[in-house]
Amino acid sequence: MKIHIDLKKTEDNSYDIIIGSRILNRIPEILKKENPADNYIIITDSNIKEIYGKDLLNNIKNNNLQTTLISFEAGEQSKNINTVKEILSEMLKNNFDRDSLILALGGGVVGDIAGFVASVYKRGIRYIQIPTSLIAQVDSSIGGKTGINTRYGKNLLGTFYQPEKVIIDTSTLKTLPKQEFINGLSEVIKHALIKDKDFFNFLEKNINTILSLNNGALEHIIKRSCEIKKEIIEKDEKEKHCRKMLNLGHTIGHSLESASSYKLPHGSAVSIGLLAEAKISGELGLLKQAEIKQIKSLLETCRLPTTIPEFINLKLIIKNTSYDKKAVKGEPYYVLLEKIGKAKIGVKVPDKIISKVMEELK
Ligand X SMILES: NC(=O)c1ccc[n+]([C@@H]2O[C@H](COP(=O)([O-])OP(=O)(O)OC[C@H]3O[C@@H](n4cnc5c(N)ncnc54)[C@H](O)[C@@H]3O)[C@@H](O)[C@H]2O)c1
Active-site residues: which are they? 123, 145, 187, 229, 239, 243, 247, 250, 254, 266
Interface of this chain with ligand X, residues 157 to 176, rule: CB under 6 A: 172, 175-176
Nearer Cβ to ligand X (28/184): 184
Nearer Cβ to ligand X (167/287): 167
| Separation between Cα atoms, residue 11 and residue 61, nearest integer Å | 33
* Pair 133, 184: CB distance under 8 Å: yes
In the set 71, 132, 258, 260, which binds ligand X (CB under 6 A)? Answer: 132
What three-state secondary structure class fits 3? coil
51 touching ligand X, by CB under 6 A: yes
What three-state secondary structure class fits 192? helix
Nearer Cβ to ligand X (53/282): 53
List Cα–Cα distances, 355 to 39, 78, 358, 360, in angstroms.
52, 31, 5, 9
In the set 67, 71, 100, 155, which binds ligand X (CB under 6 A)? Answer: 155
Q: Least Å distance between CB 74 and ligand X? A: 4
Q: Which of 270, 315, 324 is nearest to 154 (CA)?
A: 324
* Pair 67, 61: CB distance under 8 Å: yes
Nearer Cβ to ligand X (72/96): 72
In the set 27, 42, 118, 136, which binds ligand X (CB under 6 A)? Answer: 136
Question: Which one of 27-35, 54-62, 135-143, 206-214 is the stretch in contact with ligand X (CB under 6 A)?
Answer: 135-143
In the set 90, 164, 180, 236, which binds ligand X (CB under 6 A)? Answer: 180
153 touching ligand X, by CB under 6 A: no
∠ CA(219), CA(225), CA(228), 5° rounding? 135
Spell out, one character per residue from 306 to 335, where the chain touches ligand X: x when CB under 6 A holds, - when not.
Answer: ------------------------------
Task: Please enumerate in sequence order all residues whose Cβ is within 8 A of that of 271, keeping only pairs 6 or more positions apart, or say none.
Answer: 183, 186, 189, 249, 299, 302, 304, 305, 306
Q: Which of 238, 264, 285, 281 is nearest to 186 (CA)?
A: 264
In the set 18, 74, 88, 157, which binds ligand X (CB under 6 A)? Answer: 74
In the set 71, 83, 133, 281, which binds ligand X (CB under 6 A)? Answer: 133
Task: Please enumerate in sequence order all residues whose Cβ is within 8 A of that of 132, keeping only pairs 6 or more positions apart, or say none.
Answer: 48, 52, 105, 106, 107, 169, 172, 173, 176
Buried b / exposed e along 270-307 (16+ C-beta atoms within 10 A): bbbbbbbbbbbbbbeebbeeebbebbbebbeebebbbe
Interface of this chain with ligand X, residues 92 to 121, rule: CB under 6 A: 106-110, 112
Spell out, one character per residue from 212 to 251, where the chain touches ligand X: x when CB under 6 A holds, - when not.
Answer: ----------------------------------------
Question: Which one of 72-80, 230-238, 312-320, 349-357 is the stretch in contact with ligand X (CB under 6 A)?
Answer: 72-80
| Separation between Cα atoms, residue 305 and residue 285, nearest integer Å | 25
Question: Which one of 23-31, 137-145, 315-323, 340-348 is the stretch in contact with ligand X (CB under 6 A)?
Answer: 137-145
| Separation between Cα atoms, residue 113 and residue 144, nearest integer Å | 12
Residues lying near ligand X in the complex (CB under 6 A): 45, 47-48, 51, 74-76, 79, 106-110, 112, 132-133, 135-136, 139-140, 143, 145, 155, 172, 175-176, 180, 183, 266-267
